[in-house]
């Protein structure tokens, strides 16, 4: 089937196949690159917010808490601003009030929290158990956890790291209920938030970053890029076809038609009246391969014309000779006939003369 296609159609088919293969391969590669880029962007946002919350905690522990600790035992009501987790949560709530961060979530989740808002959910409980397992195997080789999960706001990417109590003063509020400040007991009771252990994962610090919008932007960018590639390849195919038609096909056609006429013996008697010869002369002026081929073809056509002309001249010459020969033959025949008549006449006269002598 391909052998029956014209040259332009073969080029179009070949370029189309290359185009389709390039789009498929490029689309797969671009999709993977966009996915990893979006994943990196989500992870970067999560890490940035995590560092921000840790900075808030550090500031609360070093700057705010020393100022408020003397008031804790004097106040009947607990002052939550002394707790770094509380400060981080409030700061993050302020950030999430902004529209671009409204689906972000930060949490210091523990199995046995003082504040019920910090109670670990199923995923967070599983992460805490994993951290404890890693801690029991090698306390110095605990890795942060990164993964995707589905939350109430949709698909999210989370970054989680263990909460390990290393400060002995923390057990003042989370050790035994009897040693805890009365204001904490008054605010939260004796049942929750106690019995924590030092140097052991008791919870997980986790931040959820919505990923759907970022991945959608990545998909939109990929679609836009593929669309641009499609337009560019389409324009390229059209331009290449026009280029091939103007540079190759239009120059080959006079040669093809001349070859057809030579085969069918349909060449014009005079090369000056043959249109394809005139077109071939224009192509032969080029210095490229087609010009060289056209010159060879032109020489071949001229040689055929010369041979036809010589052949015609030879035929004409032979015809003239044949006619002259025929005329000479007719003349000789007439002379021979006349001589024959003369002989017959002489023979008759001789017979008459002999007859007269006898008498």
Per the CB < 8 A criterion, the answer to whether 206 and 158 are in contact is yes
Ramachandran area for residue 133 (φ above 0: left; ψ -120 to 50: alpha; else beta): alpha
CA–CA gap between residue 48 and residue 21 (Å, rounded): 40
Where does the pLDDT of residue 343 fall: very low under 50, low under 70, confident under 90, or very high at 90 and above?
confident
Residue 63 backbone dihedrals phi, psi, to 5 degrees: -110, -45
Where does the pLDDT of residue 228 fall: very low under 50, low under 70, confident under 90, or very high at 90 and above?
confident
Judged against a pLDDT cut of 70, whether residue 179 lies above it is answered with yes
Looking at the DSSP bridge assignments, the partners of residue 209 are 157
CA–CA gap between residue 336 and residue 359 (Å, rounded): 35
Check residue 129 and give its pLDDT. Answer: 93
Closest C-alpha to 141, from 130, 156, 149: 130
What does the pLDDT average to over 41-49?
A: 86
Among 82-91, 130-139, 199-208, 334-343, the least confident range: 334-343
Judged against a pLDDT cut of 80, whether residue 238 lies above it is answered with yes
Q: What are the distances in angstroms from CA 308 to CA 30, 146, 255, 257, 270?
A: 65, 88, 19, 19, 11
Where does the pLDDT of residue 270 fall: very low under 50, low under 70, confident under 90, or very high at 90 and above?
low
Specify the higher pLDDT residue, 105 or 246.
105
What does the pLDDT average to over 234-257?
A: 78
Give me the chain's average pLDDT, please: 80
Residue count (the chain): 359
Among 138-152, 166-180, 293-307, 340-354, the least confident range: 340-354
Judged against a pLDDT cut of 90, whether residue 19 lies above it is answered with no
Check residue 310 and give its pLDDT. Answer: 79
Check residue 278 and give its pLDDT. Answer: 67
Using the Cα atoms of residue 209, residue 213, residue 217 and residue 218 in order, give the sign of their dihedral. positive
Where does the pLDDT of residue 141 fall: very low under 50, low under 70, confident under 90, or very high at 90 and above?
confident
Judged against a pLDDT cut of 70, whether residue 96 lies above it is answered with yes
Using the Cα atoms of residue 255, residue 256, residue 259 and residue 265 in order, give the sign of their dihedral. negative
Name the H helices within the chain. 7-59, 65-72, 84-96, 122-137, 171-174, 182-188, 212-244, 250-264, 275-284, 289-358
CA–CA gap between residue 224 and residue 286 (Å, rounded): 43
């Amino acid at each position: 089937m391909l052998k029956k296609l014209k040259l332009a159609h073969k080029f179009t088919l070949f370029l189309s196949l290359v185009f389709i293969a390039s789009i498929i391969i490029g689309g797969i590669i671009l999709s993977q690159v966009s996915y990893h880029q979006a994943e990196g962007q989500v992870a970067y946002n999560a890490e940035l917010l995590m560092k921000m919350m840790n900075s808030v905690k550090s500031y609360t522990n070093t700057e705010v808490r020393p100022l408020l600790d003397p008031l804790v035992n004097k106040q009947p009501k607990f002052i939550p601003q002394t707790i770094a987790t509380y400060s981080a949560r409030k700061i993050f709530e302020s950030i999430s009030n902004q529209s671009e961060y409204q689906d972000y979530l930060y949490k210091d989740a523990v199995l046995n929290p003082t504040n019920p808002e910090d109670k670990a959910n199923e995923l967070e409980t599983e992460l805490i158990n994993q951290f404890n397992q890693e801690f029991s195997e090698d306390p110095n080789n605990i890795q942060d956890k990164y993964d995707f999960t589905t939350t109430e706001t949709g698909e999210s990417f989370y970054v989680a790291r263990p909460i390990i109590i290393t400060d002995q003063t923390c057990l003042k509020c989370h050790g035994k209920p009897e040693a805890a400040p009365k204001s904490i007991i008054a605010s939260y009771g004796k049942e929750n938030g106690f019995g924590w252990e030092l140097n052991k994962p008791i919870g997980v610090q986790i931040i959820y970053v919505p990923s759907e919008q970022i991945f959608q932007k990545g998909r939109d960018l990929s679609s836009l890029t593929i669309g641009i590639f499609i337009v560019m390849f389409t324009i390229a195919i059209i331009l290449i076809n026009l280029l091939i038609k103007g540079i190759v096909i239009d120059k080959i056609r006079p040669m093809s038609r001349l070859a057809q006429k030579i085969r069918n013996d349909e060449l014009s008697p005079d090369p000056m009246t043959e249109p394809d010869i005139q077109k071939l002369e224009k192509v032969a002026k080029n210095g490229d391969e087609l010009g060289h081929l056209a010159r060879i073809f032109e020489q071949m056509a001229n040689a055929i014309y010369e041979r036809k002309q010589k052949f015609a001249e030879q035929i004409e010459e032979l015809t003239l000779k044949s006619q002259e020969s025929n005329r000479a033959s007719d003349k000789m025949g007439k002379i021979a006939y006349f001589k024959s008549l003369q002989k017959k006449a002489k023979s008759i006269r001789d017979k008459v003369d002999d007859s007269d002598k006898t008498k």
